[in-house]
Structure 1
Amino acid sequence: MNSGKIFTFVLYALGFMLLWEWLLPLEQITKTSEVHYFIIFVIFSLLLNFFHFPWYITWPVKGAFILYSLYAIFSNDLGFLPWIFEMLAAIKADIALVLSRDWLNLSSFFRSLLFFLLLWQITYLLRYWLTVKRKIFAFYFMTVFYIASLDTFTEYHGDRAIVRIVIIGFILLSLLFFKRMLEKEKMEGQQLLLGRWMIPLIFMICFGVAIGYLSPKAAPIWPDPVPFIESKAENMRGAGVSKIGYGMDDTQLGGPFINDDRVVFTVATPTRQYWKIETKDVYTGKGWIASDQASEGMMEIQYGEEHRIDAISLSDNPVREATFDFDIVYPHVVRPYGFLSMEGEDAGFLRYDPRLDKLIPYSEGLKEVRLPKYTIKYTPASYSLMELRGTKGIQGGAGLSALRKQYTQLPETLPERVRNLAVELTAEHDNWYDKALAIEKHFQTGEFSYDQTRVAVPAEDEDYVDQFLFDTKRGYCDNFSTSMVVMLRSLDIPARWAKGYAPGQYKGTADDDNRIYEITNNEAHSWVEVFFPSLGWVPFEPTKGFNNPVNILNDEKNDSSATPVANQDSGEASENQPQKKEKKKESSANTRDKETKSGKLFNKYWVTIGLGVIIIGIAAAGLLLSRNRWIPRLLIWKYKNKQEDEIFASAYAALLKRLERAGLRREPGQTLRSYAAYVDSHFDTADMSHLTERYEKLVYGGDGDAANWEYTKEVWESLMKRTMD
């Protein structure tokens, strides 16, 4: 590899390092988890550009890599040919969404495809900026702005990235400036000058950056504008993409969100629980609010004072403890079902709001406080299956009637087809428990799918539940839980919407044999509570991919065909299994039944086909990498046995292309004679000038003798062989 090639390779390497800084934060700020495919694609594309492969080679190779990457990410073990048909159908559907400007509902597959195409274009632009324009400042400035914005407004920490970008960018800008200056002045020995200049340049830049990085920094003179900007953005933000976590405002549900792995709290306890915070009772058609009932039912509970706020008939369960340690502190109490009492680190008390079924901690000075640590005593919730199935209505005084009215509230605008669906699903059952199970089971069918990104927001004239049940059938816990509550209420069964956290991830055992669970913002969750007069509020879990951790005791002595019941998970092995979110595609036998005959043959002989593809790929790569050796030989063989004198003009044009490929670039506007002199100085010969003189006589002077191929063939072959070095 000559010095010119080495310099160009250095430029490509520095350009790749700048582009890499765009890809590194993706796993932290998006849901993208296969970034390595995009990085490999960028490297592959830049190498193809570096070796100047023609478009009819680079396009199929890049296209094949993109197809392989998408298959590896999204196939879900589906056969290759069936996946191709599925991919084409998905592209057709996504193009329709693009034409209708429904950007939020584009599939992850289509977004990845578009991202690959974007990187394809960027690598082409890099080649243009580095080797043609010799200017990279615009891309460098955009990179600095991009990393600075991520560091300011996201969880990504860009301190080290900025240092890397400054070093890479200054080196790249300096090299390109020096190269432009040498070419403008037409100085001889350019590559030698560049080599001598690069070492002190890199040393000075790295030394300067190190001094700046290690030196003490003065405090900022102006106040930080970020909180102001974020507050304004929060006020202006509509139903865009939000970050998952616990929130207080549930008036407008729907829309996509991104994951947040920040730990909210850890808890040590012997049993797996849902961690409850509050409930909402008024459904508006768009979301949930708390009713305006008077707060005179508020009660104070002193720390350590036993007070049952969860009415559970089976109270002979052993008393357990849950010790909470919060990383993100809120002004409310997170509690398990079966609450008895709470102990805080400081003196104070709790206020219980029955309207929200919520506990709020206060100091002795009657101020709301945020508790970083506390311990709750509770009796694990257990429910009698016989009493659950024995509930067919509410019979009681004014209190129960008022409760029933409050928790069967529905907006007058609720579409009638929601009620009709609830009646249809529960027609076979005569008790509230089986009706609730029938609705809960409905959401576990293949009709519905769990999704955090392609989640619609109802229009002004749409109902949130109606849209989910009959139109989108795609969403997360808020969609599933709200829909079940509304359907139960339409059957005159009291139900409410509960919020808090899912059980979290099992992290091992503590010294006292308690199990430790880690709860992140990703575990923020909502579920359903149904009121049973003899038991109180019983939780149900309609969200696909989640399991209800409550304990239902099968005490129906005379019914051997009782419905299987849910029990508390026990044993460490079960705790090690994380909450499973539903896969976006059902990988069942139904998909295999749809495979075509060719797809089955592919699955049967995939090893042979794979080896064949690998061998062909290696052979093709070898041919591509060694093309500077075999293409000149092929051209020599092509023209050597030609006898026609008119072949000289074609052979001369082929030589010019090979010289260009070998790094001897002809500048725009440069005459053939000047270029021939440049080539001869490079090879230390006069052959190119002699050949060019005869070519000009043939083309411009009409001298037929100049076209004598036998006379010029040996000189042409000698120059063609030199391009192989």
Structure 2
Amino acid sequence: MPQSNNTEQKQSTLHTLVLYSLGFLLLWEWLRPLKDLTTTDDIQIFVMYTLFLFIVTYFQLPFWISFPVKLGALFYALHSLYFFDVFLSFKWVPYLIDDIKFNLNLLSDQKWNEMTSLSRSLLFFVLLWLIGYLMHYWLIQTRRIFLFFLITVIYISLLDTFTVYDGKFAIIRTVFVGLLLTGILRMMKIIETEGFSLLKGKFPILWVAPLSGVIALSSALGYVAPKASPIWPDPVPFIKNMSDKGNEKDGPGGKGSVSKIGYGTDDSQLGGPFEFDYTPIFTSNDNGRHYWRIETKEFYTGKGWENKIPIQVISLDANQPSASQTNYTRIWEDGIEMEKKTATVKPMDGKEYPFLMIPGKLTKIVADPSTVFQFDGVSGKTLTFQEERAVKLSEYTMDYELPVLKEEQMKASTNQYPSYITDNYLQLPKTLPQRVKDLSSKITADQPTIYEKVKTVEEYFAKNGYGYNTIDVAVPKKNEDYVDQFLFVDKKGYCDNFSSTMIVMLRSIGIPARWVKGFTPGTFEGMTKDGKREYTVTNANAHSWVEVYFSGIGWVPFEPTRGFTNPVQPQDVKKSSTNAAAPVPKETKKPEKNLDEGTKSGSNGTKSVSLMKMMGYFLVGLLILLALTALFAFLFRKKWLRQYTIWRYKRKNGSDTFEEAFEKLLWLLHVYGIKRQPASTLREYALHVDRSLDSKDMKILARAYEGVQFGPNKRSDLWNDFHRELWENLIKRIRP
């Protein structure tokens, strides 16, 4: 008898290992696309963590052991992604706690896009943990995996259709593993229902081998067989075309067609929706954090921005670029405390621009010696030429300076502006509605200094419920002002709306301001060997912001757009919102991931998605899966309740186990329609059950139960192999 039990235990361990192995391969297909569709590196860490979850679950460790082991593995995986120091030194723990606290504040404010990469990865690991538990539930308890298999096929098909991910071989792998796993579970279902024995060694080898061969042969034949051309056209162009047609019906002042985000040159007509494009543009090794400035514009038309000051083409000395600056391009006045920084820019192949991305006040430019730099003395756009032809540099390094701003210094600034400032940066169209000016005066009337007036306007949008939106954004009609429409009608938009509105409001109360275009800092990727930070800037980082002129200081950047953080802040200013990013230690590799927005562009871009979108796919798929699982569990509860009850009590021991199991049997019989009449005794009901199920086991179990209930001494040995087998046979005989 002991030898038989050992053999059965080995068989059970073997088929459980097979189930977990196939289940992991099926779940792995959800992780494979991340490397192609996101900027996330080290996908293998997520895969290894998922594998570790399956291994720990396979050994069926007690909860008080398995939970801390899985939690420790989660933190170790996070440490491997983001920190360089020794794991057991725990120096990284305070940074992790600070990051979690910071992101909890963001979640409470519903600022999802501002979450740091560290916390996003933490949530993703937790999601994998939950999915691992669900896989255990489907494989071991319910023996049903077809629904997850079907959703996996749909998931891969959608990614293959609408993204750059090639799902041809992924579909083949998924179908093979899914059908094999479904077949094995079905066999086990039949074995458990009919009471077949696993002791003869026929499972899983003699059963699974033919099944695997048939599925493999079918997959191979399907792959090599000639295929007819598709009957339906590619749905992606069709859907985009229909979307564009639908938008065109809006006519002037409507939504317009959806554009790709990126850097563009024409800003005379702002408004309308756009879609994010996460195509990498350039990487930078930098020891400062700043916006990447490209150009400024000073003339607001009521619909967008232009430059009316005549262009001043000036040659730039690469060794002393600041010496060639004009009044319009001088960012900081002399006498301001500055910090020296260095940045190296490396554009991606095919994504080079014939101009520079400026990090601050340039002091030196290092590039190809044959390069000539010319810049517009009005907008500050710096162009690159070689042999009198525009050239796109593959790499360049810039020494630059960033200001050290102090709140007291800015509050002390007066309205004594140079004439070129008042002549060009207080301009407003005559058609600007009076209510824009009235609102600006009203909200700033009680502020004593220029700086406090500027901060009041900057914070006005967040405090009054203006929303960030890139899709439901209108284009102003012929007689409608762009700022007025955003301020009083739509109250939602993206960076162009927020920045333009803040500038117009400031100008209406006599404070000079201008519109700036460029890129946000980008996504932090890690530390270089020389101690600099590496960033990746994509089309999605294209952005517009505000610069305000302060006498004696210069042009100070401000950030009114909801969900964005100004990288240049006065040292002793208490930030009025939680938009500031959590402090990131130098040891971290991948902290905050910006999903930054910007101006429209006609670039084609690529069909790529962010990690946040992938997490969204996972979450939506998981919610759908949970809802469908709950629905199927309820509709087919009579099919799985028996197996779940057997699984729950099969290995349970204790003096009360027999009573609990017998009472659960009575409940199951009632659920499955074998009901006990109110006037019948337990023995009469046992006879009724035996007749209904063609058995003699219920009478024996009922007699033992009565002995426990009415006997003088409570026995603890009734839940033995004999009674357990009778109890299990009765449950297996019950039919839905």
The TM-score with structure 2 as length reference comes to 0.51
Aligned positions of 1:141-180 closer than 5 A: 142-151=151-160, 153-154=162-163, 162=171, 164-172=173-181, 174-175=183-184
Alpha carbons 2:344, 2:398 under 8 Å: kept = yes
Distance 2:457 2:516 in 1: 17
One-letter code of the match for 1:304? A
Find out whether 1:276 has 2:324 as its counterpart: no
Structure 1 residue aligned with 2:357: 334
Structure 1 residue aligned with 2:334: 314
Return the offset for 1:90.
12
Structure 2 residue aligned with 1:358: 381
Q: 1:325 aligns with which of 333, 338, 346?
A: 346
Return the offset for 1:334.
0.4
One-letter code of the match for 1:376? M
Q: 1:429 aligns with which of 448, 467, 488?
A: 448
Distance 2:368 2:553 in 1: 33
Distance 2:276 2:370 in 1: 38
Give the secondary structure class of the aligned counterpart of 1:518: strand
Distance 2:243 2:381 in 1: 26
Alpha carbons 2:413, 2:550 under 8 Å: kept = no
Structure 1 residue aligned with 2:463: 447
Distance 1:365 1:174 in 2: 70
Aligned positions of 1:441-590 closer than 5 A: 442=459, 447=463, 457=473, 480-503=498-521, 505=524, 508=527, 511=530, 515-521=532-538, 524-531=542-549, 537-542=555-560, 546-549=565-568
Q: 1:650 aligns with which of 676, 680, 685?
A: 685
Distance 1:563 1:129 in 2: 57
Return the offset for 1:488.
0.5
Return the offset for 1:370.
2.9
Return the offset for 1:538.
3.4
Distance 1:268 1:148 in 2: 40
Return the offset for 1:373.
0.6
Find out whether 1:370 has 2:392 as its counterpart: yes
Distance 2:38 2:532 in 1: 31
Distance 1:129 1:403 in 2: 73
Give the secondary structure class of the aligned counterpart of 1:297: coil
Are residues 392 and 636 of structure 1, via their aligned partners in 2, closer, same or farther at CA, if it must alter by over 3 Å?
A: closer
One-letter code of the match for 1:308? Q
Alpha carbons 1:347, 1:363 under 8 Å: kept = yes
Distance 1:483 1:470 in 2: 11
One-letter code of the match for 1:290? W
Distance 2:16 2:535 in 1: 51
Find out whether 1:403 has 2:424 as its counterpart: yes
Gaps of 5+ in 2: 1-7, 59-96, 111-119, 248-254, 576-582, 595-644, 667-675, 701-719, 729-736
Give the secondary structure class of the aligned counterpart of 1:304: coil
Return the offset for 1:372.
2.2
Alpha carbons 2:299, 2:306 under 8 Å: kept = yes
Are residues 274 and 124 of structure 1, via their aligned partners in 2, closer, same or farther at CA, if it must alter by over 3 Å?
A: closer
Distance 1:409 1:279 in 2: 18
Give the secondary structure class of the aligned counterpart of 2:156: helix
Larger relative contact order (Cα-Cα within 8 Å, sequence gap ≥ 6): 2
One-letter code of the match for 2:517? K
Return the offset for 1:165.
1.7
Are residues 190 and 162 of structure 1, via their aligned partners in 2, closer, same or farther at CA, if it must alter by over 3 Å?
A: farther
Return the offset for 1:374.
1.3
Are residues 281 and 724 of structure 1, via their aligned partners in 2, closer, same or farther at CA, if it must alter by over 3 Å?
A: farther
Q: Count residues in correspondence.
A: 545
Return the offset for 1:420.
2.0
One-letter code of the match for 2:334? L
Give the secondary structure class of the aligned counterpart of 1:497: strand
Return the offset for 1:14.
4.9
One-letter code of the match for 1:371? L
Are residues 540 and 135 of structure 1, via their aligned partners in 2, closer, same or farther at CA, if it must alter by over 3 Å?
A: closer
Are residues 165 and 261 of structure 1, via their aligned partners in 2, closer, same or farther at CA, if it must alter by over 3 Å?
A: same
Structure 1 residue aligned with 2:5: none
Distance 2:659 2:451 in 1: 83
Distance 2:312 2:491 in 1: 39
Alpha carbons 1:314, 1:383 under 8 Å: kept = no
Aligned positions of 1:209-224 closer than 5 A: none
Deviations 1:121-141 (A, max 9, x none): x9999799986xx994x8646
Instruction: From the CA coordinates, give the structure whose radius of gyration is larger.
Output: 1
Are residues 622 and 21 of structure 1, via their aligned partners in 2, closer, same or farther at CA, if it must alter by over 3 Å?
A: same
Find out whether 1:299 has 2:336 as its counterpart: no
Distance 2:559 2:160 in 1: 38
Return the offset for 1:330.
3.8
Are residues 313 and 13 of structure 1, via their aligned partners in 2, closer, same or farther at CA, if it must alter by over 3 Å?
A: closer
Alpha carbons 1:439, 1:484 under 8 Å: kept = yes
Return the offset for 1:344.
3.1
One-letter code of the match for 2:318? G
The TM-score with structure 1 as length reference comes to 0.52
Aligned positions of 1:121-132 closer than 5 A: none
One-letter code of the match for 2:432? E
Return the offset for 1:29.
6.8
Deviations 1:106-151 (A, max 9, x none): xx9xx99xx99x999x9999799986xx994x86465234224325
One-letter code of the match for 2:206? W
Say which is worse superposed, 309-318 or 462-471, in terms of deviation. 462-471
Distance 1:149 1:638 in 2: 45
Return the offset for 1:324.
2.0
Are residues 628 and 291 of structure 1, via their aligned partners in 2, closer, same or farther at CA, if it must alter by over 3 Å?
A: same
Give the secondary structure class of the aligned counterpart of 1:546: coil
One-letter code of the match for 1:722? E
Distance 1:724 1:478 in 2: 71
Are residues 9 and 508 of structure 1, via their aligned partners in 2, closer, same or farther at CA, if it must alter by over 3 Å?
A: closer
Return the offset for 1:281.
4.3
Return the offset for 1:489.
2.1
Are residues 516 and 175 of structure 1, via their aligned partners in 2, closer, same or farther at CA, if it must alter by over 3 Å?
A: closer
